[in-house]
Amino acid sequence: SGEEQRPIEEEMTPHVLMFPFPIQGHMPPMLKLAELLSNVGLYVTFVNTEYSHRRFMHHSSALARLEQRPCFRFRTIPDGLPEDDPRPALHFMVIEESLRTRSRESYRELLTPTIGQDPDGWPPVSCVIADAVLPLALDVAEEVGIHVLIFRTGGACSFWAFHCIPELVKVGVLPFPEDANLDEIVSSVPGMEGFLRRRDLPSFCRDVKSSDNIFRLLKTVTTNAARAEAFIINTFESLEAPMLSHVRSLCPITYAVGPLHTFVKTSIPQNELDSSTNSVNMWEEDCDCIRWLDMKLDKSVVYVSFGSIAVLSREELMEFWQGLVDSGKQFLWVVRPDLVAGGSGEKDTIPEDIEEGTRQRGCIVGWAPQDEVLAHPAVGCFLTHSGWNSTLESVTRGVPMICWPFFTDQQVNSRFVSAVWKIGVDMKDKIGRSIVAETINNVMDGEGEELRRSTVEMAEAARISVEKGGSSYIDFLKLVQHIKSFCR
């Protein structure tokens, strides 16, 4: 309509400050949203920690391109950790605490420049879009009286499960009794009564006391979302409508704007860029694997990646490898430099016997251009840790999944993939070469066709949701209106 195309008058232009949690999984969706907001003419200040900014800048050209826009800028603040700390994302609690206790002042200065005037002549920050797992971003903005919207990188299903955990403690479902049967159904999470088993609850429910920090942080995620003026989530109605309606009972103004990585040139008025911000990485992408895929038959390759945080024991790594080899299928496997627990973090992570045995049938890379891989016709299924970004990427490329969740939201995500959306199988808590090989063969040859059909249908629904008139498209425009209302 004409309404959405009207240029914004200069004196009313809102200025959005965005602050993601400084790890791989949180940067691309928030940067993509920032790009979209910039496309519709808003000023965007994007806050990174010095460390994460250096790494993302080094490995992703998208940041430099965005920075050339006149109304887009990055600002960095220290995270308070020692220079030589490798900051593995698995230590996100340490990163969170350091930011909260040591970076408050630097962040506050970005919100309220002391000189009284913005160095670039921009208007003052009209609202903050804060990562849901970064309480600091919300707390300080509230202190200085700036509007706050909360952004959640994960899905509605895990968000709702997180929200219900205190209630599970209250009714005695948690903590689990000793020798608990993990297959028992948990009937007290509204909307998940029939299919959620104990083992599908977030991993920390198994052995963490309700007083522990992670438990408190995840509680903050949902309480902060409810406290903010609006909640933004990277999912879409056709995938998660029932869960979104539960989320809206807690956060009445919820904008479901996902899958963000699929918003392209034509989606949003005045969008000048295509999906160039999709390739935003903390590691160097190894693009040779695309040429390797080019030589393979359609749907003949298993793509394996456990995301950016998960770590495997050496035994687990070997069981996966042997299972992949035993499956008889071709495989492309991402073995991150820090994938193996206790490894040196260097490339020697890959035992030589694996490298040798792989040459026949596989390709191992340190980091892949994942979206391009999933879009490649040679890929037949995705053995994944069920991180939310990976799940959405697999869905939008119509690739069925084999799920081997590692922690937090991934247990819930994988249950939805298998039991609700029926676009993959859940191998959680199982490890061993034979189960790996068997599951791969089942998904590549047996059940695979049916799973693929459902996944392709969901991919189509995702595509429609971000196109003009789609649910995520409409929610994005509503979000823009909401932000503009702060300047009236």
Interacting residue ranges for ligand UDX, rule: CB under 6 A:
24-26, 28, 153-154, 281, 305, 307-310, 334, 367-368, 370-371, 387-390, 393, 408-410
CB of 114 to ligand UDX, least distance (A): 34
CA distances from 410 to 364, 392, 414, 448 (A): 24, 12, 6, 22
Q: Determine which helix (DSSP H) or strand (DSSP E) holds 302, and give its type and residue range.
A: strand 301-305
CB of 337 to ligand UDX, least distance (A): 11
Tokens of 116: 């009284």
Nearest Cα neighbor of 109 from 88, 93, 125, 132 is 125
CB of 153 to ligand UDX, least distance (A): 4
Instruction: CB nearer to ligand UDX: give 203 or 472.
Output: 203
CB of 469 to ligand UDX, least distance (A): 27
Question: How many CB atoms sit inside 10 A of residue 52's CB?
Answer: 22
Cα 206 to Cα 183: distance, rounded to the nearest angstrom: 13
Instruction: CB nearer to ligand UDX: give 154 or 470.
Output: 154
CB of 244 to ligand UDX, least distance (A): 17
CB of 375 to ligand UDX, least distance (A): 11
Catalytic residue IDs: 26, 131
- The SS3 assignment for 46 reads strand
User: Where does residue 48 rank: exposed (0-12), middle (13-18), buried (19+ CB within 10 A)?
Assistant: buried
Residue 128's DSSP bridge partners are: 17, 148
- The SS3 assignment for 300 reads coil
Cα 125 to Cα 47: distance, rounded to the nearest angstrom: 13
Q: How many CA atoms lie within 13 A of 139 on its CB side?
A: 13
| Locus of tokens 């490894």 | 343
Residue 363's DSSP bridge partners are: 332
Instruction: CB nearer to ligand UDX: give 126 or 278.
Output: 278
Pseudo-torsion of CA 139, 144, 147, 152, nearest 10°? -20
Cα 218 to Cα 132: distance, rounded to the nearest angstrom: 9
Instruction: CB nearer to ligand UDX: give 79 or 285.
Output: 285
For helices 92-102 and 104-111, angle between their N-to-C axes, nearest 10 degrees: 60
